[in-house]
Every structure is written in C-alpha cells, then in structure tokens.
Amino acid sequence: MKLNLKIWRQENRDSSGKMTDYQLNEVSEHMSFLEMIDLLNETLIQKGERVIEFDHDCREGICGQCGVMINGQAHGPLANTTTCQLHMRSFKDGDTIYIEPFRAASFPILRDLKIDRSGFDRIIQAGGFITTSTGQAPEANSIPISHQIAENAFDSAACIGCGACVATCKNSSAALFTSAKITHMALLPQGKLEAATRVANMISQMDAEGFGHCSNTEACEVECPQAISVLNIARMNYEYNKSMLFKP
Amino acid sequence: MRLDAKIPLGPLADKWNNYKQHAKLVNPANRKKLDIIVVGTGLAGASCAASLAEQGYNVKSFCFQDTARRAHSVAAQGGINAAKNYKNDGDSVYRMFYDTIKGGDFRSREANVYRLAECSAALIDQAVSQGVPFAREYGGYLNNRSFGGVQVSRTFYARGQTGQQLLLGAYQALMRQEHLGKVKTYTRHEMLELVVVDGKARGIITRDLLTGKIERYAANAVVLATGGYGKVYYLSTLAMGCNSSAIWRTHKKGALMSGVSWIQFHPTSLPQSGEHQSKLTLMSESLRNDGRIWVPSKADDTRAPKDIPETERDYYLERRYPAFGNLSPRDIASRAAKERIDAGCGVGPMKNSVCLDFSKAISEQGKDKIREKYSNLFSMYEKITGINAYEQPMLISPAAHFTMGGLWVDYQLMTTIPGLFALGEANFADHGANRLGANSLLQACVDGYFIAPYTIPDYLAGELHTVKIDTDHPAFIEAENSVKKQLDQLLNINGHLSADYYHKALGKLLYNKCGLSRSKTSLLSAIKEIKELRASFYQDLKITGDNQVNSELEKAGRVADYLELGELMCYDALTREESCGAHFREEYQTADGEAVRNDRDFCFVSAWEWKGYDQVQELHKEPLIFENVDLTIRSYK
Ligand SMILES: Cc1cc2nc3c(=O)[nH]c(=O)nc-3n(C[C@H](O)[C@H](O)[C@H](O)COP(=O)(O)OP(=O)(O)OC[C@H]3O[C@@H](n4cnc5c(N)ncnc54)[C@H](O)[C@@H]3O)c2cc1C
Ligand code: SF4
Ligand code: FES
C-alpha cells in the first residue's frame, strides 16, 4: 500500500522541530509499524539523508522502549498494544499517518521521536523497591501469599514503563505508572513496614520531576498497553492518605 | 597458554562451600576505595551491581537502553528453574545437576553445573523477598510446573513474563543503591573498548549515544554482563540491540572465546513472513503441551493446512520420537522441523514453517479450556499474523535464540584477562552444547547475586595495593584513539549499502551454512563468503547523519564485530568434528538422522585466542573431566 507520512523531526533537545512529509509506496500489511519506519529509513539512507531516530528494542511489546503518538493516539489505534506490536494491516492504502514523539514537559525530546523518560527511574529510586539485600532471604514459602493477591500484585507489576499514560494525559501526570508500582508493593506482605515512606517519597519525587496532577480523566487506562487499571491510582491515594494520617 | 579452570578440590557437593569458606575478603573500610564497572543491566548485570554495592563497593553500571529496566532479560517468558522439591516429586540438587549436564550433551563443567543447581533454591527466596509475584497455589504457597526435557516440576513462573518480573526485582535493587549513592548508572552508553593496564582489566571506553562523546572510566575490576549474540543471524528472537561488541572487543584484547558455534534454535517461533521482517517473535514453548506438530506428507503440497486431511499429515515428532513426541527437546524439535522444511514439506507463504495444530486438543478439551490456558498467546499470534489459531493451525518455525558460547571464564567467572569477569549469557559456562529451558534466567541471576559477590572480592583483595589508575594513563588514551578511529572510518566509507543490508546478508549466510546444521563444505564456503562480505562492508557501507544520536552508526559498529565473530563461529563449528547438542555436523549422524557425539576426541571446551586481522585464531582446549556422571547417549526415542 501507499502511505503519506507526516513525521516529527527535531535535531536535539534545544532546537525546535517540525512535521515533515514522506511518502512510502510499498508497504506490506504484514509489516509491523516499526518495520515500516525501517523501510522509510532505508530509503532515506539511499537519498543520503539522516534517518528518523526512534526508540525501540525488543519489538515484542515487553521492554517498553518503543512508543510514539500515531494520529494523536499513544501507541496507535489498537487497544492495549505497543507501537512495535501494531501491524500495518491496521491501516489502508492511501492513508495519511501522523507520527510524533510522546509529549510531556518531563519527557524532553532528544532527537526526532526519541525522548528522555529517566524521570521514571528517579521515581523508582525514591522508593519503588523492597529493602532487602542479597543473600540471606527467608525461605520463599515462609511468606504465603494467596493466589488472588499474587495475581493482583502481578496485574500492577506488569507496567512496562513506556510512558504512554503520561503522553496521553492532559496534565502529563505519571499517576498511573507510579501507582502501579505502589500497588504492586502494597499488596504484598514483603516490605509492608516501609509502605508509608515509600508512597510519600515516590509521590514527592513524581511532583519534583514536574509531572502533572491526576484529575481522573482516565485516558491513561485506555492507552496503556498493559491494561493497568486506574484503580491503582485510587489505591495510591488511599496509601498516601493512610501514610499522612498515621505519620509518626 | 594453559587454561586453568580453578575448580576447587573436594567432592562435587562441597566444592562451592569450600570455595566460599576460603575466598579472600575485603575489609569494609577498604571497599569504599574500590571501584567496579558493570557493563549490562540484565539479570546478570543488575543483580551483580546491586549486590556489590550493598557490600560497599563503588559501582558504575552501564547499558545502551534508555533505562536499566529494558535489558533483554525482560523478554524471557517461560520461567526459571530451581531444585526446591516443593512438589515432593523427587527433585534434588543432584537431579537438576544431572538433567542440566545431560541437556548440555556433556559439554559443560561438572563443578559449574552443580553450583548452578545448588544456588537455585536460594535464588527463588531472593526473588520472593524482592516482591517478584511468582504464581501461587490457592493455599498461598509457590506454584511451579515442568518444562522441556525433565520429569519433575521445577520451573517457577510469573505468568508468561517471568523475565520481566525478575528483572524488575533486580532493577529495583539497583535503583535502591543508586539512591544510596553506591551505584552510578550510565544509560544510553555503549562500551566500545576495554582498557588493559599491565595485563589487567582497568577500565572501559564508552560512547554516549546522545552526545556522541567518547568517555573513559577506570575501575579495579570490570564485569561484562552484556547478554547473548544470537542477533548475529539478524532474524532471531532477540531484541534489536542485542550484540556481541563488548565481548568481541575484549576478545581482541586477549580474552578467549569459547563454544562460539553453539547456538540454540528455538522450535516455536513465528516464521519469517517476508524480507521486511526485523525479528522473529517467540511463542511460549508451553504450547507444545497441547499442540501437535505436523507437515503435509508429500512435498510441495499447495493446499492450505486446514484442507489437508488427517491421513495426509506427517506428525514427524510423534513418528520419530515416540517417547517425547511433541515435547522433544529444543535442538531435536528444531532440527526435525528443518529436515522436513528442507525436504519440501514446509507450509506457509515462504514454505518455511510447520503446523502447530490445536484441533485435537480443542475437540477433546473444548475451546474454552484451550482459551483459558493460552488465550494471550493466541491473541498475540493473531496480532502479528492476522490469523485465528482456534480455527486453523498456527505456523511456527525454528529461530536463533540463545548463545551457549561466549567469553571463556574459570570457576570464578573470570576471563583470561585478570580483573575482567563475564556473567550471564555473555560467558560460555554452564549450558554446554545446548541449554535446557528455564536455566538461563537462573544462570544470569545466580552469577550476579551469588557467585560474583564472592569471586570479585576475592580478586579485589589482591588489588588493594595497586596504585589507583588514572584515566590519563597511556592505555586509556590509546584505547580512546582506536575507538575514535573506528568511528571515523565507519562514518567516512560513504558507499551505497546500509548496515542492515550487511547484517541481513551475514545472517542469511550463517543461517544456511552455520545454522541448525553444518557440514565441512558449508562451513568452508561460509568462511570464504564472510571474508568477501567484510571486504565489501569496508568499501561500500553508507552511514548518514552525524556523530551524535545516530542509530546507523551504532548498528554499523555492531555489524563490523558480527562480521568477525561470524567467521570464528564457522571455524569453531568446523574444528568440532562431531554432532553435539545444538551443533549438528551432517557428516556425523546415524542412518536415521540422529546426532553422533565423539567423546574420545571432542570432550573439551574450545577456547579461541585472537591472533590479529585475517589471521586464523588459535584453538586452546580445556579438557572436560567427568567424575560423577557417565557420558550416556541422549536419546528421546
Ligand atoms: C524471547 C526470549 C525468551 C526467553 N525465555 C527464557 C525463559 O523462559 N527462561 C530462561 O531461563 N531463559 C529465557 N531466555 C534467555 C534469557 O532471557 C537470557 O539468556 C538472559 O536473560 C540473559 O541475561 P543477561 O543478564 O546475561 O543479559 P541481558 O538481559 O541480555 O542484558 C544485556 C545487558 O548488556 C547491555 N549491553 C550489551 N552490550 C553493551 C555494550 N557494549 N555497552 C553497554 N551495555 C551493553 C544491555 O544494555 C543490557 O543491559 C529467553 C530469551 C529470549 C530472547
Ligand atoms: S502504566 Fe501503562 S502506559 Fe503507563 S508506563 Fe506503565 S505500561 Fe506504559
Ligand atoms: S520495542 Fe519493546 S515494547 Fe516495543
């Protein structure tokens, strides 16, 4: 099929960018979205032009590194699907496709479609872990966890850190990402003692990074490739209020 | 060069304890003075970096992704083995050791494999304490299942995302240490050279992938946990960024490479569907529990698989391996598929696939039951191929997956360069000529959490009096210059063909000539063609863009290394005149197509020493001595 592509090009963090037009004539419906960009890049190399930079690695929907806005939607039109798992059969011959980076003040653009999501790492550093050291952990079965709790914890732990929730949120809030980690840990018996400091520290780091507040639009859940539920945000708020109430 | 594996004395079951009890320690006050570089943030790297930082060393952690959490360990699906014997089904450390040694076709070291099994139980404890949400029974205790080629349930899993959850545990431990100031992470940094001073590893040269800046980092020890190089085949189950550069460049600085041609092909990957394709997606092997594998009985059958009647189907695994059937080990299942595809019985648009058929399972158990077990895999399959596998057979084919080869290391995981350690998939140890499912995550974790934290301090204890190395040292300057020179060279070739073009060409060549099966003729011609391809690369490569963010420049450097590594793979395969594990030499097979191993002449680890460009590398042999097991023939008939 033939496609008209409008792609964001930007030299670096400090420069201003613009949409640029490209045409591709031989796109197969079996290609993944990123393979379509590979094909475009191959044509750019032949023309001697700099290729379009984009982030990706696993190309199987699990590493969280890919992700662009496609026609205004984070990761494109399919529900619960990362950009790398989107295939061209979702588009038709003659379509015009707008491709832009995830946009948020806390995710600066590095070049073209590549962005800086290191704010997420700093939120985890602030408390997104259980304080256990290597080597002398107790026997695993000495901490029974019911099947349902383990499954629920997993639902939250499944976040891949892609940032689509931030990009799609009108406030650029990182609430879904942060709350997923808080919920994962809050459900488990391990690390319970540090639950209050964890939630307080992670939320204050989220604010320090400049992510916006959650105003319950729930757009994040819709765009999340891992179907992380907004109930996580409710849980985060509950944990936060609890930590404030019982502050020593 | 004499290869000393430094295996501790004593009975197998006591070796690791003996080692630990005698390993040298570093006084806590001195640990703060010691710097360690860990390249790689996968399970091996993140766990090692976090554990050493907990002990009080200063750790610098590097990866090329935008965050440590995206290392390729994140993609592992199936599970992780541990001899916990929770099911009371007779599992034990010894049994796990035996299964692993046998699975590797008796081409790994007894002592290493025993240690792997021995440390496995504590690893599950460690992961659970970090909050890894492993599957649980209704009563709250850990659940597990059995996995390819073994008769006990020892595989722990977190849905189909075990690698992701284990990695997040290690990543979080790493982030905790970063917060405490004991780790400094350098993301989007690619290590391009090792710095050796007075014969010891003393630092690395990296390229900042955002600014293009070449940087120098010094340390008292360098750890490579940079993963596998299966992406050398271009089409593989690995992430796009996986590469061999870190280990290859240290190889050229004197570290030996072992078992390079031992590459596992995974039997249940999605097939290549066209020339545009960039990778092959793995479908969980668990599908083989219910899916039956077949091809049309006659060659060049043009009917759609669902139109081929039962009587005209060849269930070749069930036919050839009645005892294990569709659950035959990976190397056997992959090779049997290739044999049928080569015979012209392959299906699909490119005639490169076999059918994985659920119709019998659906008719016996009902669609709902199958949906309950595999729905996520069926929907992933549909997302990628557009085909509904409840209604017609899935098409699958073997894909390059896991590299058993890597840097040669001794029992302490130290390479032949003192102070340079290699962990996880980057080293050759533990899996022999074939890896059993769910053992790799385990090896990466055990290397990083439990082994390196003993062996690296043992080395460092001897380094306390070495003067601190300054990054102005001539060795750093020289290493930096050689990196810059190579980058300039690549940027200035100004030919016509992209790095991907060369990568694909090399991959296809290796797949056909040094892939699932090899012969003397195919390997000799591959060596010749790789040389030609390499010559063309240096004349006709084209990189556009500048010396800052430039994915083409990154790729080109990796492909340059693959073009050298590919040749060594062929030499390695050529010298090993036997069939063992994943290495199938066509000249060494029985009349009915089974592998013939040669223990008399090839019971050794090949270790190659770099001798310079266009020189044949030198083969060193580390004999494998088996004191505890008999070398039996692996039979799955
Ligand atoms: C699809 C798939 C499924 C799998 N499923 C299973 C399974 O179910 N069970 C199992 O046991 N095993 C499985 N495996 C194998 C297993 O996942 C890997 O062998 C293991 O995770 C490797 O871990 P690692 O820490 O050695 O390397 P990786 O996780 O690959 O990490 C490599 C690290 O090195 C860094 N790096 C590499 N080169 C450089 C450089 N030059 N400079 C800077 N950084 C660098 C990368 O950035 C990354 O951080 C699977 C593999 C794949 C591909
Ligand atoms: S919550 Fe969902 S959208 Fe947000 S980072 Fe995690 S996986 Fe991505
Ligand atoms: S590339 Fe890994 S999730 Fe898309």
CB contact under 8 A, B277 and A35: yes
The yes-or-no verdict on residue B148 having pLDDT over 70 is: no
Residue A6, judged by CB atoms within 10 A of its CB (0-12, 13-18, 19+), counts as middle
B371 is catalytic: no
List the structure tokens of B612: 């310079």
Give the confidence band of B376 by pLDDT, cuts at 50, 70, 90: confident
Chain A nearest-CA residue for B47: A134
List the structure tokens of A202: 């992670």
Kindly identify the ligand whose nearest atom is closest to the C-alpha of A225: 2
B279 close to B238: Cβ distance less than 8 angstroms: yes
Which bin fits A41, alpha (ψ -120 to 50), beta or left (φ > 0)? Answer: alpha
Distance CA B402, CA B195 (A): 28
> Among candidates B7, B564, B545, B620, which has minimal Cα distance to B258?
B620
The yes-or-no verdict on residue A167 having pLDDT over 70 is: yes
Chain B residues with CB-CB distance to A139 below 8 A: 125
> Among candidates B5, B130, B1, B200, which has minimal Cα distance to B625?
B5
Residue count of chain A? 248
Which residues contact ligand 2 via a Cβ below 6 A?
A 159-165, 176-177, 180, 224-226, 228
The pLDDT of residue B2 = 81
Give the confidence band of B210 by pLDDT, cuts at 50, 70, 90: very high
User: How many CA within 13 A on the CB side of residue B274?
Assistant: 13
CB contact under 8 A, B129 and A51: no
Kindly identify the ligand whose nearest atom is closest to the C-alpha of A82: 3
Beta partners for residue A114, in sequence order: A111
List the structure tokens of A240: 């936060």
CB contact under 8 A, A58 and B171: no
Distance CA B432, CA B434 (A): 6
Q: Where are the alpha helices (DSSP H) in B80-144?
A: 93-103, 110-129
Q: Which of B86, B136, B179 sits opposite A126 (nearest CB)?
A: B179
The mean pLDDT value for B462-467 works out to 90
Element (H, E) at B365: helix B359-365
The yes-or-no verdict on residue B600 having pLDDT over 90 is: yes
By alpha-carbon position, which residue is closest to atom 33 of ligand 1? B40
Percent of chain A with pLDDT over 90: 98
Kindly identify the ligand whose nearest atom is closest to the C-alpha of B65: 1
Task: Average the pLDDT over each of B280-284, B484-488, B515-519 and give the range with the smallest value.
Answer: B280-284
The mean pLDDT value for B60-87 works out to 96
Going by C-beta distance under 8 Å and a sequence separation of 6 or more, which residues neighbour residue B468? B218
Distance CA A215, CA B505 (A): 52
Residue type, A159: C
List the structure tokens of B391: 């209604």
Pick the atom of ligand 1 nearest to B224's CA: 34
ipTM given for this complex: 0.98
The pairing of beta strand B183-186 with beta strand B189-197: unpaired
Measure Cα distances from B111 to B94, B626, B629 in Å: 12, 10, 12
Distance CA B125, CA A212 (A): 38
Distance CA B585, CA A210 (A): 59
Percent of chain A with pLDDT over 70: 100
> Among candidates B507, B629, B482, B57, which has minimal Cα distance to B242?
B507
The yes-or-no verdict on residue B289 having pLDDT over 90 is: no
Going by C-beta distance under 8 Å and a sequence separation of 6 or more, which residues neighbour residue B388? B378, B382
The yes-or-no verdict on residue B115 having pLDDT over 90 is: yes
The tens digit of pLDDT for each residue in B222-243 reads: 999 999 999 999 999 999 999 9
The answer to whether the pTM exceeds 0.95 is: yes
Give the confidence band of B614 by pLDDT, cuts at 50, 70, 90: confident
Tokens 């949409």 found at: A19
Chain B nearest-CA residue for A117: B66
Measure Cα distances from B479 to B190, B198, B205, B249, B280 in Å: 14, 14, 7, 11, 36
> Among candidates B46, B469, B467, which has minimal Cα distance to B223?
B46
Beta partners for residue B183, in sequence order: B59
Which residues contact ligand 1 via a Cβ below 6 A?
B 39-45, 62-65, 71-73, 75-80, 162-163, 190-191, 225-228, 237-238, 243, 245-246, 282, 402, 424-426, 438-442, 444
The yes-or-no verdict on residue B206 having pLDDT over 90 is: yes
Q: Where are the alpha helices (DSSP H) in B208-351?
A: 245-252, 316-320, 330-340
B239 close to B72: Cβ distance less than 8 angstroms: yes
The mean pLDDT value for B13-29 works out to 97
Q: What is the DSSP string of chain A?
A: --EEEEEEE-SSTTS--EEEEEEES---TTSBHHHHHHHHHHHHHHHTPPPPP---SSSSSSS----EEETTEET-SSTT--GGG-BGGGS-TT-EEEEEE---TTS-EEETTEE--HHHHHHHHTT-S----SS-PPPGGGS---HHHHHHHHHHHT-----HHHHH-TT-B-HHHHHHHHHHHHHSSTTGGGHHHHHHHHHHHHHHTT-B---S--HHHHH-TT---THHHHHHHHHHHHHHHT--
Pick the atom of ligand 1 nearest to B44's CA: 25
Q: Which of B50, B128, B542 sits opposite A140 (nearest CB)?
A: B128
Q: Which of residues 388-447 of B touch A (CB under 8 A)?
A: none
Chain B residues with CB-CB distance to A149 below 8 A: 136
Q: Looking at the complex, does the CB of residue B129 fall below 8 Å from at least one CB of chain A?
A: yes
B5 close to B411: Cβ distance less than 8 angstroms: yes
CB contact under 8 A, B128 and A190: yes
Distance CA B623, CA B5 (A): 10
The mean pLDDT value for B440-456 works out to 98
List the structure tokens of B542: 């084209």
Element (H, E) at B453: helix B452-461
Catalytic pick among B95, B320, B330, B576: B330
List the structure tokens of A5: 């592509």
The pairing of beta strand B58-62 with beta strand B35-39: parallel
Distance CA A65, CA A88 (A): 20
Q: Which of residues 592-631 of B touch A (CB under 8 A)?
A: none
**Dihedral pair phi/psi, residue B524, rounded to 5°:** -65, -40
The yes-or-no verdict on residue B145 having pLDDT over 90 is: no
Rounded to the nearest integer, the mean pLDDT of chain B is 95
Percent composition of chain B: helix, strand, coil (DSSP 3-state, to 5):
40, 15, 40
Would you call B617 helix, strand, or coil by DSSP?
coil
The tens digit of pLDDT for each residue in A93-140 reads: 999 999 999 999 999 999 999 999 999 999 999 999 999 999 989 999
Give the confidence band of B469 by pLDDT, cuts at 50, 70, 90: confident
Measure Cα distances from B376 to A87, B354, B372, B379, B509 in Å: 17, 21, 9, 5, 34
User: How many CA within 13 A on the CB side of residue B399?
Assistant: 26
Residue type, B583: H
Distance CA B473, CA B479 (A): 10
A-B interface: how many C-beta pairs under 8 angstroms?
Answer: 222
Per DSSP, B211 falls in state T
Task: Average the pLDDT over each of B273-277, B430-434, B505-509, B546-550 and give the range with the smallest value.
Answer: B273-277
The mean pLDDT value for B592-613 works out to 95
The mean pLDDT value for A9-19 works out to 97
**Dihedral pair phi/psi, residue B481, rounded to 5°:** -60, -40
Distance CA B108, CA B603 (A): 9
Element (H, E) at B15: helix B15-22
> Among candidates B86, B180, B89, which has minimal Cα distance to B125?
B86
List the structure tokens of B310: 């039962």
